[in-house]
A = this chain, B = another copy of it.
């Protein structure tokens, strides 16, 4: 079985836990870090530090996304805040058009070129349930696409091990795997410290609180 794995690493808790999970399954991971015109480059620095701590080689891919349409890319749009406990359903404004599809496509190309046997993504549906590209059905269809449309895709497993977990379960798993949470960054904004009010900060804070552990 091929032991190399490509892991999408964003600098947050989910992808860091996924990286450590891939390691625990005896894969030799290579991290792909995307610098895609986020409002702030902070995530990229955190992702690099996590990869280094994990002893994992990494590659930063710059994608010049110059089109608008997401509050994560467009500074003129407001990041939604304070809505974690009861946010309306639907796709949030932080959705970036086809982001995971693009990331997975590039990761597939890279996986083909290094003969990796698996591609790990830390997506999950429990919290950010509005993102259509975080669902199991999407990953299953993506696997079919690469099996049909690439030279090597039939040998590449798409692994989304967190897809049915919620944030609490992910943090519990991450603690067991000794993920360095202090090196992760969740906030959608790029301040010196997390804002504490965006969706992503709220989900994180609530999960740590419910687990009764401190986030530091």
Contact surface of A with B, Cβ cutoff 8 Å: 59, 61-69, 91, 95-102, 104-106, 108-110, 112-114, 132-133, 135, 137-138, 141-142, 144-146, 148-153
Contacts and interface: CB of A to CB of B under 8 A. Distances in A.
A151 to B, nearest CB: 5
Nearest to A140: B148
Given A101-B145, A102-B105, A145-B145, A151 B95 contact: yes
A68 B113 contact: yes
Contact of A138 (B101, B132, B145): B145
B100 A67 contact: no
Contacts of A97: 108-110, 112-113, 150-152
A64 B106 CA distance: 11
B95 A101 contact: no
Contact of A100 (B137, B144, B149, B153): B149
A151 B132 contact: yes
5 contacts: A97-B108, A101-B108, A135-B149, A142-B145, A144-B144
Contacts of A101: 105, 108-109, 145-146, 149-150
A149 B104 CA distance: 12
B148 A98 contact: no
A150 B98 contact: yes
Given A68-B113, A104-B105, A142-B149, 16 more contacts: A62-B64, A67-B109, A67-B114, A97-B109, A97-B113, A97-B151, A97-B152, A98-B153, A102-B102, A102-B109, A132-B150, A133-B150, A135-B149, A137-B148, A142-B145, A145-B145
